[in-house]
Amino acid sequence: MKLVTTKQALVECLGIVNKAVSSRSSIQVLSGVLIDAREEGVTLSATDMEISIKAPLLGDVEQAGSLVVPARIATDIARSLPAGRVVIEQRAGETQVEIQAGESLFDLHSLPAADFPQLPVLAGERFTVSRVAFIETVDRVASSASRDETRPVLTGVLVQFTKHAVRMVATDSYRLSVKETPLESSVPGTLQAIAPARTLLELSRIAAALADETIAILPTENQILFEVGGVTLVSRLIDGQFPNYKQLIPETFDYEVAVDHDELLEAIRRVGLLAQKNAPLRLQFADNTLTVSAESQDVGKAHEAMPVQYSGESLAIGFNPEFLEAGVASVKESPVYLRFISPLRPGLVKGAGDDFLYLVMPIRLND
């Protein structure tokens, strides 16, 4: 095998596929990247058996062939190379692969391509959605999914497609994000699936760097394929029953307060510095004033006040500062509306005309 590419193309392509490289498996080949050079072009592929990514590498093939290189060291080498032309070559009968750029020369151990798992091939008709609208929805919802692998369904995002919209829902049982986005698609009828949040966030990362206007999607019974800019991402779907999130959202609230978005977000970030070791961030509403405060016994305390329209009885409610900040940051307009029932019931964060809502559980205050 022999191919010629550039440092920039190699670094960028490795950066795309590396997120699918296994970091925990005892199977050596899963910590590698498959380089497949054919007459029609070069692709790099990686998989951890749950997510697979395949990306085109810009370059010229002088001799077709394929091999697997260790992902981490290959990436470190690529980044260290001088700018410009890079030659990757494995001579017949050898297991070493030679990487040369300028006066730099590396001989790297490789594995045979035959040891690399066969990547899933999904058959069927793809439908397309707007890249910008789909990825914006992912970015505002997926971070609310759980990271607790003992509850697999909650590590996923419920994705519901219609011809004119996509709705995504994620929850870790402490917070809930729901976003519905108008989006014209070629989906036949309606469709829903639970996709791993990790998959959607990787798709967002990949698509953000590409100029393609659409994402092609092909779901099957237990897998889903995304294709954008020549990059193919295939992931398993999560099997199970997603919680009935509509039952979790209160129909009415006793309090609603409009707050300047940027002012509130900055106050949460500043005062939240003192909410350490699971200390809550306290919101106190009284006499047209919102006071954001936090106190950690070993560190100190902080508070910041801002004007709001609030004339009811005094209300104090506490939240995890990280969760509250994430909810306010996900609202893209001002003012942001805070809705409450009581200090022990979930609070709602949303914008005025935005189809996004964020429900967050409070933390009981000691005083």
The torsion angles phi and psi of 14, rounded to 5 degrees, stand at -60, -40
The CATH number given to 2-115 is 3.10.150.10
The CA-based dihedral angle spanning residues 194, 198, 200, 206, taken in that order and rounded to the nearest 10 degrees:
-160
Read off the pLDDT band of 57 (50, 70, 90): very high
Residue ranges of the domains in the chain? 2-115, 127-245, 249-360
Architecture category of domain 127-245 in CATH: Roll (3.10)
Does this chain's domain 2-115 share its CATH topology with 249-360?
A: yes
Vertex 56: Cα angle to 184 and 33 (nearest 5)? 120
Dihedral sign, Cα of residue 353, residue 325, residue 171, residue 181? positive
For 249-360, CATH gives: 3.10.150.10
What does pLDDT average to over the chain? 93
Predicted confidence band of residue 25 (pLDDT cuts 50, 70, 90): confident
Spatial CA neighbour of 135 closest among 22, 212, 23: 212
Asked if 180 contacts 189 with a C-beta cutoff of 8 angstroms, the reply is: no
Length of the chain: 367
For residue 100, the cross-strand partners are: 87, 105
Interval 65-105: pLDDT, tens: 999 999 999 999 999 999 999 999 999 888 999 999 999 99
0.85 exceeded by pTM: yes
In our burial notation (b when 16+ CB lie closer than 10 A, e otherwise), range 11-31 reads bebbbbbbbbbbeeeeeebbb
d(CA 211, CA 262): 30
In this predicted model, what pLDDT tens digit does every residue of 290-317 receive, in sequence order?
999 999 988 999 999 999 998 888 999 9
Q: How far apart are CA 52 and CA 40, in angstroms?
A: 21
Of 201, 217, 208, nearest to 12 by C-alpha is 208
Using an 8 Å Cβ cutoff, are 205 and 217 in contact?
A: no
